[in-house]
């Protein structure tokens, strides 16, 4: 794929979503209570929860805007956001069938906007869609429509095994690699599981296909309302496909301004404790260039102590 080696901030800001839909919500989002916020090791956990197929995708007030942005990205940045290897073609067709049926059963009409079945499915929902294909005794990331990556590039991950895909994740190889592979091998058909993660970014961008050295930076000192920082959470689901046995990994990115924590000082306190407890590896992975310890973590502690209120 012909992928640019670097993206400028102007390139990224061309695809910034309208923030009105995220700023106009009252109070704190309910998904804050789904976060696994803990201090100290283990720093990374699977943290999966079983759910009903009815809850496969989130239908929220950002749905249409995000689907439209995904269609635009596929049209304008296809080589950046999409790839499908021949080994994943059958699973891609099965994915389109299942996604189409799920939407149709709920009265949601969203026509596919691509000839490739995986890309078509990914233009009907706001989630990124990744296919892990079983072959050679391992699981391989053989196809994906990834419009909203958080500082990683599809071209660097596609065609690699589960462990290799996560080689930049702190503590993954030692603490999670074996557990994830065993979980994939044992996962039954039709069980839907979900998990969440969280990161803090100084911008509301959804589309950030960069490496860490290329990531856009922002001011390190937050204002009283926490701006310009945003909470970025990925609601991830896993579903084993019944016909091909591949695992479909979906990623729904949900963002909220840091100001929502003014309504949840309890969450601010737990986040501050988590960041303070990070070891050097987690600091390098989660904090990176936007050093949260300079301004954001002290802001969290002020919110937790009631020094700043909503």
**58 in a structural domain:** yes
**269 in a structural domain:** no
CB-CB contact of 222 with 258 (8 Å): yes
Domain extent, residue 40, equals 9-259
**99 in a structural domain:** yes
**DSSP result, 255-291:** EEEGGGGGG-HHHHHHHHHHHHH--HHHIIIIITTS-
**277 in a structural domain:** no
Instruction: Give per-residue pLDDT as tens, 260-300.
Output: 999 999 999 999 999 999 999 999 888 767 789 999 999 99
pLDDT at 25: 81
**301 in a structural domain:** no
**293 in a structural domain:** no
**90 in a structural domain:** yes
**303 in a structural domain:** no
Helix, strand, or coil here: 58? coil
Distance CA 222, CA 130 (A): 35
- In the predicted model, residues of the chain with pLDDT beneath 70 are 1-7, 288, 310
CB-CB contact of 83 with 143 (8 Å): yes
pLDDT at 288: 67
Residue 145: closest CA among 161, 169, 125, 166: 125
Domain count, the chain: 1
**Dihedral pair phi/psi, residue 72, rounded to 5°:** -65, -45
Distance CA 177, CA 193 (A): 18
């Amino acid at each position: 794929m012909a992928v640019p080696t670097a993206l400028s901030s102007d390139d990224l800001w061309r695809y910034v979503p309208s923030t009105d839909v995220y700023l106009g919500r009252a109070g704190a989002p309910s998904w804050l209570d789904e976060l696994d916020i803990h201090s100290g090791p283990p720093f990374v956990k699977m943290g999966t929860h079983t759910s009903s197929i009815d809850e496969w995708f989130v239908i929220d007030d950002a749905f249409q805007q995000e689907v439209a942005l995904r269609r635009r990205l596929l049209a304008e940045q296809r080589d950046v956001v999409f790839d499908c290897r021949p080994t994943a073609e059958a699973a891609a067709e099965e994915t389109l069938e299942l996604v189409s049926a799920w939407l149709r059963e709920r009265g949601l009409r969203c026509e596919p906007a691509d000839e490739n079945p995986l890309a078509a499915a990914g233009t009907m929902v706001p989630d990124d869609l990744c296919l892990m294909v079983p072959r050679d005794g391992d699981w391989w990331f053989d196809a994906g429509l990834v419009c909203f990556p958080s500082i990683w590039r599809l071209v660097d991950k596609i065609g690699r095994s589960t462990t290799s895909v996560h080689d930049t994740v702190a503590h993954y190889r030692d603490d999670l690699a074996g557990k994830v592979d065993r979980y994939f091998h044992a996962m039954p058909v039709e069980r839907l599981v979900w998990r969440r993660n969280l990161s803090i970014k100084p911008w509301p961008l959804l589309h950030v296909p960069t490496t860490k050295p290329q990531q856009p930076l922002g001011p390190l000192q937050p204002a009283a309302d926490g701006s310009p920082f945003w909470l970025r959470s990925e609601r991830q689901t896993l579903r084993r496909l019944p016909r091909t046995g591949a695992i479909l990994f979906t990623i729904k990115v949900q963002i909220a301004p840091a100001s929502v924590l003014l309504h949840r000082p309890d969450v601010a306190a737990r986040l501050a404790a988590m960041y303070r407890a990070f070891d050097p590896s987690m600091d390098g992975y989660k904090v990176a260039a936007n050093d949260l310890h300079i301004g954001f973590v002290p802001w969290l502690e002020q919110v937790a102590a009631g020094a700043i209120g909503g």
